[in-house]
Each structure stands twice: as C-alpha cells, then as structure tokens.
Chain A
Amino acid sequence: MAKELERAGFPTATVTSLAAVAVKVGANRVVRGDRFSHPCGRPGLPRAEERAWRVELVRTALRALATRVEGPTVFELRS
C-alpha cells in the first residue's frame, strides 16, 4: 500500500515489524515497529511505559515524514 500512497503524493511513514521487506518492496519511509501481531505495541511493558514507547514510535514516524529521503530508508526509535 505504501508505494501507491506515495505515488499519489502522500509522504507515508510505514510502521512494520518487517522493515527489511518493506525496504525491498520499495516503501521509502519505513519505521521499525515491534512484533508482527502488535507493531505499535510492547505488551511486555507496564501500561504507562508501553504508551510512552508508542508515543516515541509515532515521533519516529513524524521524523520520517519530515526527512528528505532518496530511496527506501529505515528509521529506528531513538532509545
């Protein structure tokens, strides 16, 4: 989906557990999420910490959207 949205002109931050695949397929702004069944979650953490992690994940997506890229690029959460 990412490439079609990008083709339509929308800067798109793709959050996925399979960042390497997203890069190979050609999505340009890729954010590495957590596991396949909860890419925007970390169930092992206490609620409040998980929520804070998720906010950081979305901040990473914002950073990706605001960054000029030349091709598929992976953005990691800053720990």
Chain B
Amino acid sequence: MRIVHYLNQFFAGIGGEEHADMPPGSRPGAVGPGLALQKLLGGNGEIVGTVFCGDGLIGDRPDVVVPDIVTLIDAFAPDVVVAGPAFGAGRYGLGCARVCAAVGARLRIAALAAMAPDNVAVELHRREIVIVPTTATAVGMPGALAAMARLALRLGRGESLGPAAIDGYVPRGRRMNTWAQASASARAVALLQARLRGEPFSTEVPLPRYDRVTPPPPVADPARMRLALVTECGLVPAGNPDHLEWVRASKWLRYGLDGVDDLARGDYEVAHGGYDAAFAVEDPDRLVPVDAVRELARSGEIGEVLDAYYVTCGNHGVLGQMATHAREIAADLRRQHVDAVLLVAT
C-alpha cells in the first residue's frame, strides 16, 4: 500500500514560524514523524512520499496552494493520504483538513487527518473528512501515530469504517441505527445507577448546540413597511388542493390574499397532524391573522400587507428540509420587496 504524508513546515524539519509562508514542496519517503509512522505501518504500507507547506501560506491562500499540494501528492500515486498530527494547532489543522478534503474530491483517494478534537478545523471539516482524535499537544505523538497507522491501512484497503466510538475517529455527523443486547430502558437504568454511584457514564445521545443568527436591524417605521405573513401551522385552502403533507412536509406553498380581509370559516383547513384543528377551522385568522393585519393596514400602522401568505407544515419536519423551504421563501420575499415577516410557528 502506497501512503503519502502531509506535514507543515515545522514537522517537515524546515523551520518554525519564520517559514510559515513556505510554498509547497515534497520529498520521497518518510520525513520527521513519518519515520515513526513508517515503523508502525511495518510491511503493510510504505510512505512513498511526504508533502509539506507553510501553515501561514495554506491558511491565507488555500485556493492557490491546495491545488498545488494535490498535484504533488498525485505524483506519488498513493492509495491513501495521511495528514498531521496537528494536535491543537489551528492553522496546521485547517491545512491538514483542506488537503484531505481536496484529495478526496479531486483524486478520489481516501485520506485522514489527525488533530485534537477541539482544533478549530474539526467543527468545520469533520463531516467531509475522517479525523483521528489526538491529545492537545505533541506529548501524545506515539498514540496519534498508532491511530493514524491503524486507520490508514483500513482506509487504504477500501474498508468502510464502523461507528466512530469503536473505530476511533471524530464523529462525522451521521447517526446510524444498530442493535444492542439490552432494551433502551435497561441501558438507561444502568446509566442511572452509574450516575448514582458516582461512576463514569456515557450518554448515548450527545446534546446538539444551536447556532446563533445575528438579529437583522429593526424596521425603521412599520407604517411604511411591506409585511408578509408566513406560517408553519399548515393552514391551506379547503380541500388542500396542493396536497400539503401533514407530516414531514416536502414543500411550501403560497396562497393569494387579494381582496381577502378576513379568513372565513369553511374556506380553509389544517394540514397538520399534531394538534386539534377545530379552533383554526372555525376561524382561520387564529393561525394566520389576516383580519388583524388588514385592520392595522387601514389604520396606517402597517404600510402594506403582501397579497399572499406562505405555508408549510412544521409537524415532524425534517430540519434540513425546513431550512431549505425557509431559504426559498426568503428568495421569493426578496423578489417582492418585502421588508419584514410575521411568522406564526407551531
């Protein structure tokens, strides 16, 4: 098996920060930590070449530099590429990650990078590439190299990897179903007992972190704005003519409000399986407040109301898909010079 190793200028033995802008270069065989890595690979794999670049340069000009690095790597005709270990070094980690991503995309060769789990490059790239977790500093070099050797050989053989916790890589953002011996309840009891005894325990579902969005600046004067109504509550014209699904909606829809001052009972129904629709059917303004916005438009407190409303169904929505719907609706709103949105959510 042919392996190419990517390093920064420091681990390649060129020098320190003063050489951070060093352009890409390569050398046959193993260099620096690659020598120890080669020993761990034994006769199962050969580091046929080492490619290196300055951390600063690849950080500042990746668009120029990464293609050159890929070309140098390609010249060695590897079966698998390994990069790092970068430990906690952010620029080096980013460099390793970008190289691995490019190798995968352009050369269609397996690649892995090694760095500490909280390296800035991890959150940005873990979905695209395989990352082997290491300690924060080079103190953990032997363990890092052993892990790199193990996974490089498997990836080079074309093996698909098993669960992250078992095969030793940073989770790449996919969760797949498998089977345990005990029921989830029994496993929960075991976790509880470990907690009550003060023993270490491992939750099976790590909690997500929600990202923040910078609030858009406020509307300067509502009396001059064009307002659009959007709802996730699944309110559709009676008969649901466009078949909005009431779970896992695959679409969003736009319905006209031209000449409509008040949503009338009987004209609308609810395509949402998660709540009692009776109140909304009786007066659909309880889901999309058309009567109220019309009144405020007449009184001059709202400049103008868009003559249509947008609807999807937020019941069991696939989150990625709902975000796509929102982006498409936003594009539509922009085309119609809408200034602000009143969103009624479930």
Whether A and B are associated in the same complex: the answer reads yes
Residues of A within 8 A of B (CB): 1-16, 18, 22, 24-29, 33, 36-41, 43, 50-51, 54-55, 57-59, 61-62, 65-71
Asked if B282 and A65 make an inter-chain contact with CB atoms under 8 angstroms apart, the answer reads no
The answer, among B215, B225, B295, B342, for a CB contact under 8 Å with A55, is B295
- B79 close to A (CB within 8 Å): no
Decide yes or no: A22 and B334 within 8 Å by CB, A10-B216, A28-B215, A71-B215 being known contacts.
no
Smallest beta-carbon distance A66→chain B, Å: 5
Which residues 309-326 of B sit at the A interface, judged by CB distance below 8 A?
Answer: 312, 314, 322-323, 325-326
Instruction: Tell me the complex Cα distance, A60–B134, Å.
Output: 51
Instruction: Tell me the complex Cα distance, A32–B246, Å.
Output: 24
The answer, among A12, A51, A67, for a CB contact under 8 Å with B343, is A12
Asked if B301 and A68 make an inter-chain contact with CB atoms under 8 angstroms apart, the answer reads no
Asked if A66 and B222 make an inter-chain contact with CB atoms under 8 angstroms apart, the answer reads yes
Provide a sorted-by-A list of 25 A–B residue pairs whose CB atoms are within 8 angstroms.
A1-B345, A4-B323, A5-B326, A5-B333, A7-B330, A8-B334, A9-B330, A10-B333, A11-B218, A11-B339, A12-B342, A13-B341, A26-B211, A28-B213, A29-B215, A33-B344, A40-B344, A41-B280, A41-B286, A50-B283, A54-B286, A59-B296, A62-B302, A65-B225, A71-B215
- B210 close to A (CB within 8 Å): yes
Asked if B343 and A65 make an inter-chain contact with CB atoms under 8 angstroms apart, the answer reads no
Asked if A37 and B344 make an inter-chain contact with CB atoms under 8 angstroms apart, the answer reads no
The answer, among A9, A22, A58, for a CB contact under 8 Å with B345, is A22
Asked if A38 and B210 make an inter-chain contact with CB atoms under 8 angstroms apart, the answer reads no
Asked if A40 and B222 make an inter-chain contact with CB atoms under 8 angstroms apart, the answer reads no
Instruction: Tell me the complex Cα distance, A71–B210, Å.
Output: 13
Q: Within 8 Å CB of B210, what residues of A?
A: 24-26
Query: How many chain-B residues does the 8 Å CB contact rule pick out?
Result: 58
Decide yes or no: A11 and B293 within 8 Å by CB, A43-B286, A62-B301, A62-B302 being known contacts.
no
| 5 tightest A-B CB contacts, nearest first | A41-B286, A4-B326, A8-B330, A28-B215, A38-B286
Q: Within 8 Å CB of A10, what residues of B?
A: 216, 330, 333, 338-341
Binary interface profile of B, 225-244, with partner A (CB < 8 Å = 1, else 0)? 10000101100000000000
- B132 close to A (CB within 8 Å): no
Decide yes or no: A39 and B296 within 8 Å by CB, A1-B230, A4-B327, A69-B215 being known contacts.
no
Decide yes or no: A2 and B216 within 8 Å by CB, A8-B334, A40-B288, A43-B282 being known contacts.
no
Asked if B341 and A54 make an inter-chain contact with CB atoms under 8 angstroms apart, the answer reads no
